[in-house]
Amino acid sequence: MESEPYHSRIGQALVTFAGEDLGYGSQSGRKARLDSVVLPRLTLTLHAGERVALLGQSGSGKSTLLVELRARLAHQAAWCPQHHGLVPALAVYHNIFMGRLPEHSMLAGLWNLVRPLARPWREVGELCALLGLEGLERRPVGQLSGGQRQRVAIGRALYQGRTLFLGDEPVASVDPHQALRLLALIDERHTTSVVALHQRELALTHFDRVWGLRDGRLVIDAPAYELTLADLDSLYPDAEAPASSPGEEAPAVMPGPEALPCSRGRP
């Protein structure tokens, strides 16, 4: 994937965690309290120009880290969440258009719901063509396949037009060829990205840097060219464990209404 050597693309630090606790808590008045720490004493830096693969087994804290990055990067970052956050009853066009909703007036937003505006219609159509969604612009998202929905969610993030991309498993439901094409599209339109994924090979071949989480710790923070698949295997201690018995499912992560991602500095 290399267009320009990694080191020459790296710019200034965009976000630094210096021994901070990341986890979930609650808000009382203006005070945030951290009730459960997922990533204690996290130390890492994201630099401009880096393409980072974020790995770790389920529950290791990838989403927790991404949500905190998003909070710190505010409007610089396009966001593609794990569960897509699409509105099933609305058409593909409207779901992608929502990426820029905050930039439009309330009236333009409402008008566009009834009758798409010419310019966004053209822009979204172009994006749909790139994403392999051409001809589906008017179809409600609830009538799409899982992979198509995933591409709509990526389309909405691309439509935000930011320089930085944060994706929580954005290529989990597509085939390996599509995954490569989508990652290339994300790279083309963003100078910096952090992408959670489970495809270890992709992490090594497509990204500059790998962050690996295990047992609440960042155990890998290294350039991809220094790593091997065996290094990444060490992030998945359960890989050899016997499969769970039928009917025994991993607990779903269901954030309670009062639980808020938050962090606590620890100098």
Ligand X SMILES: Nc1ncnc2c1ncn2[C@@H]1O[C@H](COP(=O)(O)OP(=O)(O)OP(=O)(O)O)[C@@H](O)[C@H]1O
Contact residues: ligand X, CB under 6 A: 24, 36, 38, 56, 58-64, 82, 253, 255, 259
Concatenate the DSSP letters of all residues of 36-95 into one string: EEEEEEEEEEEETT-EEEEE--TTSSHHHHHHHHHHHHGGGEEEE-TT----TTSBHHHH
Query: Based on CB atoms, which residue is closest to ligand X, 60 or 192?
Result: 60
Query: Based on CB atoms, which residue is closest to ligand X, 56 or 99?
Result: 56
In the complex, minimum distance from the CB of residue 262 to ligand X, in angstroms, rounded to a whole number: 10
In the complex, minimum distance from the CB of residue 24 to ligand X, in angstroms, rounded to a whole number: 3
Q: What residue number has its CB nearest to ligand X?
A: 255
Query: Based on CB atoms, which residue is closest to ligand X, 96 or 154?
Result: 154
Cα–Cα distance, 237 to 104 (Å, whole number): 47
Query: Cβ(144)–Cβ(152) under 8 Å?
Result: yes
In the complex, minimum distance from the CB of residue 201 to ligand X, in angstroms, rounded to a whole number: 18
In the complex, minimum distance from the CB of residue 234 to ligand X, in angstroms, rounded to a whole number: 16
Query: Based on CB atoms, which residue is closest to ligand X, 124 or 153?
Result: 153
Query: Based on CB atoms, which residue is closest to ligand X, 61 or 116?
Result: 61
In the complex, minimum distance from the CB of residue 41 to ligand X, in angstroms, rounded to a whole number: 16
Query: Based on CB atoms, which residue is closest to ligand X, 133 or 196?
Result: 196
In the complex, minimum distance from the CB of residue 36 to ligand X, in angstroms, rounded to a whole number: 5
